[in-house]
Chains A and B, each alone.
Chain A
């Protein structure tokens, strides 16, 4: 090869000269794959209306992102699939019988107000799906609190029953709780299917075990300390969206601490708040508000948990 040609061919750059094959898109794709079991479950339990809600939610999340990027004249990054993840999570947080426009509003709010107004992927300080859920609950409380059972009949969720003072006999059987054959948000009811997805995320090293395990563990311990009956404890862990929240939402990269110590503090905080809200607060579930509150605390937690440098001189 002659000199002139070689000059054109050779790239000059700073080290490192090789990169892993990981990408944001691949990570998001893994999250989507991990949600597929629960997604299929929701369609099985609640019928085709669940599927429609999920699709509407995804389409409006992606559509909102394209729209806002065009408006702000920024690069469109929908290829990273993060809007798809947000869309699915929003649908997972809706009652199965919610009207389609609720999904549209929720997705638009999540993408535009919570994510893009703060600078887009990686820059938002609250989990978009959870913030959207909070906004929906505040705006349409009755729609967001009317759950249908898997047989299509409106009913209270198990945790709402517990909050209302019911004992174990009034609750669905534990096996139904575990499989997800109960009332609740579309994607939160099946502990089994969510745990399969969670295990996938752990195996693929997309998430770290600390946040979900410590979150759920802390919730259980604090509930016991607060005097919750051991019979009911299992309902608390399997129900109320705790597993969905702990594996899929508290682990959101952008809104949880980057440091190891920070992750632990964050998870303990989430667990503590969830248990407190359930026992002392006015709401039966509390997962979304706990995570949102800890999202807001994240920058402060990070500031106080800077890792010690290798060989730090004390």
Chain B
């Protein structure tokens, strides 16, 4: 089987903007004096607080959980005192309860944080429980509870595991650095998954703009023939899981389906490393690598950040703003969310904080569609963005649906490439919401 120059049809070539941070080792972020930890930072049910004002907490102590099946607990990232529960916006724009903790500066680790034993002796059930209790949710941005994906994928009888190290969004280098600096953790996590699914092989797929990471993984895999590193042509949105499965094993997820429907399981490389830490050290997911970058910052960095640290703390640590900032984005520039305050806390799904300058953020002037077809060529879902968008802008949602608006993955490629600067992704996403709302009503 071929394992290099893999790719998919459609997509766009974007200036990758990774030079800011790709050669910078991960630094520990300055210890926050206060963290505000959202009780809902994953897909699924929100957690209920397990602590109250005045309680003292330790690093890694569970501070929120829920009885729902689709959820993961949250943990304290520092030791200190709970000073209240506050409602704040998360980076993806939801207003949720946050546990506010003031640090005692000691970073005392909770007793529950201890190695979970040898992988050989762990059962599938135990792996599931460890993953859940460690609060692991997809670190690639989606923050989907890992153990839930484990269960449904096991039922579907998957035969292929692919770790996603494409990191196709411009600017971001957190996956890159983790693969380069801790390849053994990424690999160990994959071995845990292989054990859970009873499979004897797995893939780690990486875009070819990170050849040093590919080399580092291959070096660590010397003598191991069960794990294969696949190299992908650098193209956005290669890291989207359906395009990834298509590129690596040539299976297309059916419309409306999930990766498990083509017997594959995809998760991010950092999620894999987090799973490894949960077993090896018993460490819950209370910190992650965040790329803090962009032309609007003095000194871009890759930082190991404690969940609940404010965006402002990270920006200060990167030398502060360079000039007037125009936009602050949580996540990548193609699919991320703009921020309006520096108080917003970092959550499990935040891969990066990007500060664009005023000029970079200046609004673009829209002109009429010239039917150049560039959006059609770029669409990785093979849609006609110009047509769906035109219907959406006229509130004709049934027509938009008949052109398969719901198959849009909101990757942003069409809007990016459009010479007339039309708000294609934006209007198609709007049509999707209207169509889904309509379906719910009827």
Contacts and interface: CB of A to CB of B under 8 A. Distances in A.
A258 B415 contact: no
B373 A253 contact: yes
Given A306-B384, A311-B253, A311-B254, A258 B371 contact: yes
B335 interface: yes
B196 interface: no
Interface in B40-63: none
A121 B370 CA distance: 6
A230 interface: no
Overall SS of chain B's interface = loop
Interface stretch (B96-104, B183-191, B374-382): B374-382
A313 B336 contact: no
B407 interface: yes
Given A9-B358, A309-B383, A20 B370 contact: no
Contacts of A16: 333-335, 412, 415-416, 425
B257 A311 contact: yes
Given A15-B336, A253-B370, A6 B329 contact: no
Interface stretch (B213-221, B273-281, B318-326): B318-326
B340 A10 contact: yes
Interface in A8-43: 9-20, 22-24, 26-27
A11 B361 contact: yes
B334 to A, nearest CB: 5
Nearest to B420: A24
B238 interface: no
A22 B414 CA distance: 12
Interface string B119-158: 0000000000000000000000000000000000000000
Interface residues of B, number: 67
A47 interface: no
Given A9-B324, A10-B340, A258-B371, A312 B410 contact: no
A232 to B, nearest CB: 35
A257 B236 CA distance: 26
A120 interface: yes
Which of A9, A20, A122, A310 has its CB near the most chain B CB atoms (within 10 A)? A310
Given A23-B421, A254-B371, A309 B255 contact: yes
B422 to A, nearest CB: 10
B19 interface: no
B339 A10 contact: yes
A251 to B, nearest CB: 10
Given A10-B327, A11-B363, A310-B255, A24 B342 contact: no
Interface residues of A, number: 41
B326 A10 contact: yes
Nearest to B365: A23
B419 A22 contact: yes
A6 B325 contact: yes
B335 to A, nearest CB: 5
Nearest to A18: B333
B371 A253 contact: yes
Interface in B2-47: 12, 14
Given A15-B335, A309-B407, A7 B383 contact: no
Nearest to B368: A122
Contacts of A11: 326-327, 338, 361, 363
Contacts of B337: 15
A13 B364 contact: no
A12 to B, nearest CB: 5
Contacts of A73: none
A17 B412 CA distance: 9
B369 interface: yes
B431 interface: no
Interface string A244-257: 00000000011000
Interface string A231-252: 0000000000000000000000
Interface in B289-324: 320-321, 324
Contacts of A306: 384, 403
Contact of B376 (A10, A121, A259): A259
Given A23-B421, A258-B373, A310-B382, A10 B338 contact: yes
Nearest 7 Cβ contacts at the A-B interface: A16-B412, A22-B419, A311-B252, A122-B368, A17-B333, A14-B426, A253-B372
14 contacts: A1-B321, A10-B339, A10-B340, A14-B425, A15-B412, A22-B419, A24-B367, A26-B419, A80-B367, A253-B373, A258-B371, A310-B380, A311-B257, A312-B255
